[in-house]
Structure formats: structure tokens, C-alpha cells
Chain A
Amino acid sequence: MSIRNFIPTATIDQTGIEERVARLNSRSIKKESKVFALKMALNMIDLTTLEGKDTPGKVKQMCYKAMHPHDALPGIPTVAAVCVYPTFVALAKKELGNSGVKVASVATAFPAGQSSRDIKLRDTKIAVDAGADEIDMVISRGKFLAGEYAFVYDEIAAIKEACKSSRLKVILETGELSTLDNVRLASEIAMQAGADFIKTSTGKIQPAATAPVTLVMLEAIRDYYYETGRMVGMKPAGGISTAKAALQNLVMVKETLGATWLSNLWFRFGASSLANDVLMQLAKEAEGRYQSGDYFSKD
């Protein structure tokens, strides 16, 4: 791995990636396996609200939903975490108590990341001090595209240090990186700099977590693991709103990284509307009727 020179280690075969994705997407998962996978997917969701209009009330509501996704159905797990702005971390922490649901906070001038190192570090510190279990940072895409890889690397490493014991997710914002080669390189830089998770997108830019991008990142994680023995997590975020897409992601993880990664310790979905679609599918499997959004809480 020649990351020290910041030279991409592999050139991505885009057609090959798309073919592989198409083949994996054709897997059929039904009945008990489907229920098992749906519950697993639900348990991997980072329930997210990152809007300018977020209020304490909205965050409280979402925390309740995180702990009680749909009480009408027995045996439903909680989601993995809630993901909020730093200002809401303390509140979310209090609401979630000892439910086991983690609090993730975006930081480093999310979503654009166009700010000074000082402010980004301070932003991270505020979130960590407020009790965030996980920090979702954005990389400086402008610097990356300008070829200043060392800058990007140093920044991630600095934020990692500021995270103390909180786990660091590094958002590559793949929708702005143009090519799969760039996605691969950014993944390697992030992992080398100490990322605990690499994450596709902020959710503010389209396209977000497309299947080819996710597969490239999963392969980067696999190669990094073979090289160093360190496990890095993956979080596709934005654009995954159907249970079907979630199951296809799980298939990709299983086939690329193996069953060890099939836990919310190593794989997450960043989504807000996915949870309800998964719940609707679970209700369908339980009751035999196709469901309506009218019977599931919106937030």
C-alpha cells in the first residue's frame, strides 16, 4: 500500500464494479431469512436528523422512535444510534439514557467542511464533551480534489485525536469526488489516518450512497484489513430508503467482508426514512398485508 505517497493502490474497473453489484442485487432473500435480515438492518440504522429546522422537540421524538421503533410488533430491536448536530448531543444523550442506543454527532463544519482547522477541532471537542459516542466528520473535498492529500490526511488524524475514545466516522462525500478511483483513494487516506468508519455521504449532495460506491469502499476496507489486520466499519448514508436496498447492502457486506462485519459495530445505515420501510416490511411478514405509511409514526 503506497499511501505514504498518496498514489492510488488500485485502478477501479467501473464496468466490473457495476456488473458485480448487479449480480449481488439479483440475490433473493425471502421468508425467515428476510425477517432476520430486516431486523438486522433496523438494528444498524443511524436514525438521522440534520436540518436547520431541528428543534429539541424533534430530537426528543426521534430518540423515542430510536428506542421504540414500532411497539405494535413484538421482538423489534432498537436502531443503532441517533445522528444529530452537536447542539443536540446532550439532549439526545439524556433522552436515550441506558437504552444502548448510541449518540452520533456530525462535526467539523458539517456538511461543507469549509472552515479552519481550529474551528473543526473545537466543533469536535464540543460534541465529544457533550457525550457523543461517535463523531461523523467530513473531509475537505476541495483540498482532496486539488491534490492536497497530505492536508486531508493530517486533518483526519487531528480530528481523530480530538475524538478521544469516541469512534470516528469519516464522510468522504462521494457525490463530490467524481470518480471511483477518487473514492478508493479517499477511503485509503481516511483509514490510514485512523478512521473507525468510512461513510459515503452527508445526505446533502446527490448522488449519495450508490451501490457501486459502497462496493468500492467495502473493497478498500477488505484490502486494508488484509494489509494491517485492523477492522474498519462502513456506513452508506443518504439515498437508501427502501428495505430492498438495505438488504442488497447487507448482501454486499457479507460477500465482500464476511459475516464479522454484519453487526452494528461495523456496519451502519445513515437514513431517516429507511426505518419505516423496514418496519412496514416486517409488519407485512407478520400480518400478511401490505402496509400503509399511515400506521407508522413519521418521526
Chain B
Amino acid sequence: MERIEVLKTYKLYIGGQFPRTESGRYYALTNKQGATIANVCLASRKDFRNAVVAARGAFAGWSSRSGYNRSQILYRIAEMMEGRKQQLVDELLLQGISKSSATKQVETGIDHWVYFAGWCDKYQQVFSAVNPVQSSHFNFSVPEPTGVVVAIASQDSPLVSVIDLIAAAIAGGNTIIVLASSKYPLCAITLGEIIATSDVSGGVVNILTGKPEELLGQFASHMDVNALVLPEIANDLLTKAKLEGANNVKRVHHYKNTNWERGDFLQPYPIMDLQEIKTTWHPIEQIGSSGSKY
């Protein structure tokens, strides 16, 4: 007798769990021939708010880990992903991406985790400074994570853009909510499963599927979101997001014409875009002719 294959239900990833959308809404994902390949959750604003609560709750723990430890965890994600490479390739193929491109995308994604794992305990040194001041203070500036980040993945880079956006945020100690590409959402959810089994505590990374136009207003207006990363958004929507985001002085970043697969995001600057610089004035003894003594 022929075996009936068990199909996977693609759900959201919020607070370390995989809930269905509370709204019960979904959309059918079809392949080029028009056949349904999966039903995908249409996340509601309530799902988003739950994700913000989870991300805020996870922030204190994640941001206080040492950079070295975060680095180990990001590297662990790469290891886990390597083991589930075939599944990700199959999902990209299912969504109509060519075989060579699918393999390339998955391998690139793994390499990008390793790249950002390397930065976790290094960007602080590169971007910190001891500042010369004309008073008896030891004055220094260090980057600190901004908090809860919300990002919308690139529509046409279903895996690598998601990885780059997550990695840049969490390498710097932030927690993040990503809205996956609505055109190719499947591997983003599988990525959530990989992250869930890689020592990343629940709530650090949250992945939603749904429509950007439906959720952007909520992303921009939520007072507990500290930064928005909107790489491919139209200019009028970007302006709206910035205006609404100004209520709590959100950082809003836009990366035009990024070629994710080529590695355009492989820089420390996307990490720094989600950091706040803290400057400390530490009183020291009077500076004499022989210089300061700290």
C-alpha cells in the first residue's frame, strides 16, 4: 500500500514556541503551476504584539550575555543549519527556485552566520573610543544594543536576507521580530526551527509570516519597538513609518539595492546601526604635567 506523506504545517515562531496565528487566518502558497503547496499563517497585529512582549522579555538575558557567548551561539546556528541543509534546499525548490540557486542560497546563509558570529565580541572594540577631553575625566564611549528590533525581509531573498537581518541584530545583543517574505515564506519558518534548537533562548528571535502592508503601521506605532529595519520598502511607506516611529524616536533603517546573496550586508555597520553609543565621564585625579593617572 502506498504511504501517505505527512505534510508540515508552517506556523509562526514567537517566544520560543510555534503557535498558529491567533487570528486563524492563512493564505495559500501556490507554485508556478498554480497548485497549493502550503497554507501559510497570516499574522495579525495581536501576533505581532505577542512577539514584542516575548522579545522585550528576552532582551535583558540576551543583551547581558558576553559577546563571546553570543558568538558561540551564532556559530551553533550555522552548525544546525548545515545539518538541515537538504530540507532548506527542498523548500526553496518547492517554491520554484532553481536547483543551483537554492543550494547557493543555503550555503551562503550558513556562511553568513559564521561571519556575524565572528563580530559578536569584536565590534565593541572597533567602535568604542577613549575620547580626549579638557577636564579631569576619563571619557569613553561604548556601543550598547538598542533593544527590540523589527525587520521586514526582502521579498526576493527568502533565506539570506532573513539570516542577515537576524544576525546583525542579535550579534549586537538586540532581540528581533522578522516578517518573512510573503512570496517565499517557507524556509524562514524552518530557520526558526533551527534557531529554536541552537541555544538561542525563546523570544530572542521571532518570525512572522504575513503581509507587510497590513502590519507596517503596527510596527511603526508600537512604543516598545526601538528600531525598524525596512530594506526594500517604498519611499512613501518609509516616510510614514518614520513619522509614526518618531513618537518614541525609533531608529528606522533602509538599505536600498542590497544584493544579499552577493554579501552586501557583510559589514559591521548593520550591527552598529542597531546600537546606541553610551559615553561615560569618569572623574579622575587632576591631570598634571606628566599626564593623567587612571
Interface residues of A (CB under 8 A from B): 288-295
Best-buried of B52, B56, B218, B224 by chain A (most CB within 10 Å): B224
Give chain B residues whose Cβ lies under 8 Å from the Cβ of A290: 49, 52, 218, 221-224
The distance in angstroms between the C-alpha atoms of A291 and B224, with both chains bound, is 6
The distance in angstroms between the C-alpha atoms of A292 and B248, with both chains bound, is 9
The distance in angstroms between the C-alpha atoms of A8 and B222, with both chains bound, is 51
Best-buried of A288, A294, A295 by chain B (most CB within 10 Å): A294
The distance in angstroms between the C-alpha atoms of A294 and B223, with both chains bound, is 9
Interface residues of B (CB under 8 A from A): 49, 52, 56, 218, 221-224, 247-248
The distance in angstroms between the C-alpha atoms of A294 and B56, with both chains bound, is 11
Give chain A residues whose Cβ lies under 8 Å from the Cβ of B223: 289-292, 294-295
Q: With A290-B49, A290-B218 given, name 5 new contacts (CB 8 A).
A: A288-B221, A289-B247, A291-B224, A292-B222, A295-B223
Give chain A residues whose Cβ lies under 8 Å from the Cβ of B218: 290
The distance in angstroms between the C-alpha atoms of A159 and B269, with both chains bound, is 66
Give chain A residues whose Cβ lies under 8 Å from the Cβ of B248: 292, 294-295
Give chain A residues whose Cβ lies under 8 Å from the Cβ of B52: 290
Give chain B residues whose Cβ lies under 8 Å from the Cβ of A291: 223-224
The distance in angstroms between the C-alpha atoms of A23 and B157, with both chains bound, is 45
Closest to B220 in A: A289
Tell me how far the C-beta of B55 lies from the nearest C-beta in chain A, rounded to whole angstroms.
12
A-B contact pairs, 19 of them (CB 8 A): A289-B221, A289-B222, A289-B223, A290-B52, A290-B222, A290-B223, A290-B224, A291-B223, A291-B224, A292-B56, A292-B222, A292-B223, A292-B224, A292-B248, A293-B56, A293-B224, A294-B223, A294-B248, A295-B223
Tell me how far the C-beta of A26 lies from the nearest C-beta in chain B, rounded to whole angstroms.
14
Give chain A residues whose Cβ lies under 8 Å from the Cβ of B222: 289-290, 292
Give chain A residues whose Cβ lies under 8 Å from the Cβ of B221: 288-290
The distance in angstroms between the C-alpha atoms of A290 and B150, with both chains bound, is 15
Give chain B residues whose Cβ lies under 8 Å from the Cβ of A295: 223, 248
The distance in angstroms between the C-alpha atoms of A42 and B171, with both chains bound, is 40
The distance in angstroms between the C-alpha atoms of A294 and B225, with both chains bound, is 11
Closest to A291 in B: B223
Give chain A residues whose Cβ lies under 8 Å from the Cβ of B56: 292-293
The distance in angstroms between the C-alpha atoms of A290 and B56, with both chains bound, is 13
Tell me how far the C-beta of A85 lies from the nearest C-beta in chain B, rounded to whole angstroms.
28
Tell me how far the C-beta of B244 lies from the nearest C-beta in chain A, rounded to whole angstroms.
9
Give chain A residues whose Cβ lies under 8 Å from the Cβ of B224: 290-294
The distance in angstroms between the C-alpha atoms of A189 and B63, with both chains bound, is 50
The 3 closest A-B pairs by CB, nearest first: A292-B224, A292-B223, A290-B222
The distance in angstroms between the C-alpha atoms of A293 and B224, with both chains bound, is 7
The distance in angstroms between the C-alpha atoms of A102 and B49, with both chains bound, is 36
Give chain B residues whose Cβ lies under 8 Å from the Cβ of A294: 223-224, 248
The distance in angstroms between the C-alpha atoms of A288 and B45, with both chains bound, is 13
Tell me how far the C-beta of B19 lies from the nearest C-beta in chain A, rounded to whole angstroms.
17
The distance in angstroms between the C-alpha atoms of A292 and B147, with both chains bound, is 12
The distance in angstroms between the C-alpha atoms of A291 and B223, with both chains bound, is 5
